[in-house]
Amino acid sequence: MMERIELITERLIITQFDLSMAESVHLNSLDEDTRRFTPDEVFETVDVAQETIEFLMECYKNNEGPFVYPILLKTGKNIGYVQAVPIDNGWEVGYHIALPYTKKGYAKEAVKAFVPYIMSQLKIDHIWGICRTDNVASFAVLKHCHFELDSTYIGKYQGGNHEICRFVYRK
């Protein structure tokens, strides 16, 4: 069972989901970048967001993941999420900041706090960061957070073939 998380940074709180966040999760997921880069993370209705939150809350009770956590401003406003997701060769970090809050360094701040924490919880010595090469913002976040470019290749990503960058962060 994953222990309860409450990471506090200079401007953010990373904690666990609760059902009261369904509307903000729904609204945060509707921007064009989410539709373009992670269409499976678009929640067209509050009900769909609530079902997803219920699933994610159940995942906190095991050690299999995915482990997805909301990113809140210190005011309590939900602005996105950070996650660790199991993949074929380990774990992948993911993150999203809702469009009105982008370009303010929130993703970098959240990833820097989250990665060492989740690696310790999962007892792993590295974690992957994977994004499309045309996702300039995600590429910049990974580089800023000391992920090293491992490879670039054409492969399946979110239902299509794209040029992909695979980064790795090691303890």
Residue 165 lies in a domain: no
pLDDT-derived band of residue 1, with 50, 70 and 90 as boundaries? low
Q: Any idea what the CATH number is for the domain that residue 78 is in?
A: 3.40.630.30
Residue 150: what pLDDT?
Answer: 97
Q: Residue type at 36? A: R
Q: Is 104 in contact with 120 (CB distance < 8 Å)?
A: no
Tell how far CA 125 is from the center of its chain. Answer: 19
Question: Which residues form the domain of 82?
Answer: 7-123
Q: Rounded to whole angstroms, how far apart are CA atoms 55 and 149?
A: 32
Residue 130: what pLDDT?
Answer: 95
Q: Kindly report the pTM of this predicted structure.
A: 0.93
Residue 147 lies in a domain: no
